[in-house]
Amino acid sequence: MIEQFKGKTALITGGMGFIGSNLAIKLAELGAKVTILDAMIPDYGGNVYNVTESDRIRINFCDIRDQQAVNWLVRDQDFVFHLAGQVCHLMSLSNPFPDIEMNITGTAIVMEALRKHNPKAILVNAGTRGQYGPAVSFPVNEEAPTNPKGIYEISNLTAEKIIKVYNDVHGIRSVNLRLSNLYGPRSQMMHSRFGVFNWFIRLAMDDETIQLFGDGSILRDFVYVDDCIDAILRVATTPECYGEIFNVGSDKPITFRELCDTIVRVAKSGRWEFAEFSAERKAQEPGDFYSDISKIERFTGWRPTTELEDGIKKTIDYYSTCRDHYWTKPEKTATAKTAEKLTTATKR
């Protein structure tokens, strides 16, 4: 895989966030010339500290809804990894417009920019397993019905269909992924709105009590972020994947109760207790979910390799050394190195 990215150019939308920053660092390690596009919207997880360890990453602070900027940035890119968007499930219940503007209009802007200015680029889109909605059978494969329960999930499904049209009609080679529940380093740790796994880890590290909604028996498949990055890179460099949709998840589902027990045991601190679902969370809770990953394994050989306890330990080890950069808002904890990077990054 090293040779496939060495000397190549890659644009990552939403690249200062959780998945994007891990992807940027890996691509830089593989010898790619990496450009990040990120609007740094407060509370969305963008954090300059995420990429301070690499001096091979160029940062552009702009928005995917900025058509002029996107038109310029897609030029001469070999790969475009589309990770930017509105990512808060609960927000979409009370205000659907950011989902429509970022996930739908933003995606259309990216695809139009590629059609007009760089039709030879390869695009990988990061969607969500929430696009399925409540599962009708297990494990959930890519042919399962898509009946999402929220505007966030509907907007991601719409973005996926837009990308598929540009692949089929305009020849923009693309891959759509439906990602399951991710955890690991470089995720924001200020709140639980973008996923509870890392939030549970924070509570355990702070020796606080994890609120476990319901009876803890709901099943989920969890994926360590490094395994997700491996999947993204594999589909990007496998021509047979272009035009396809793939689950990126785990075929080893566990209950939330088992998850909390494991986190507390590995962290050696914290505890958990049962709690009632809030009305908002109950309205969007789809019940049990775990992915059928046989398709992506068949096309690329990918399987997650990080065991749950190992992934939790790696995550705790990471945040133990730099929690000040994640426990509060990034702008309040910027180091001199972070501030310098903010100052020298240019929008070209």
Catalytic residue positions, numbered: 152
Task: Pull the structure tokens for residue 286.
Answer: 């789809």
Label residue 241 exposed, middle or buried (CB < 10 Å: 0-12, 13-18, 19+).
buried
Helical (H) or strand (E) element with 81: strand 79-82
Please provide the size of the chain in residues. Answer: 348
Compute the half-sphere exposure of residue 125: CA atoms within 13 Å on the CB side of its CA.
Answer: 32
What angle do the packed helices 106-117 and 151-170 form, to 10 degrees? 10
| Cα 245 to Cα 227: distance, rounded to the nearest angstrom | 18
Burial of 238 (0-12, 13-18, 19+ CB in 10 A): middle
Q: Which helix (H) or strand (E) holds 104?
A: none
Angle (CA) 305 254 288, round 5°: 120
Token output for 176: 């759509």
Measured CA to CA, the distance from residue 114 to residue 265 in angstroms comes to: 48
**CA pair distance 190, 92, nearest whole angstrom:** 19
How far is 203 from 197, CA to CA, in rounded Å?
Answer: 10
Alpha carbon distance 180, 191 (integer Å): 19
Helix (H) / strand (E) containing 216 = none
d(CA 24, CA 36): 8
Contact 16, 59 (CB under 8 A): yes
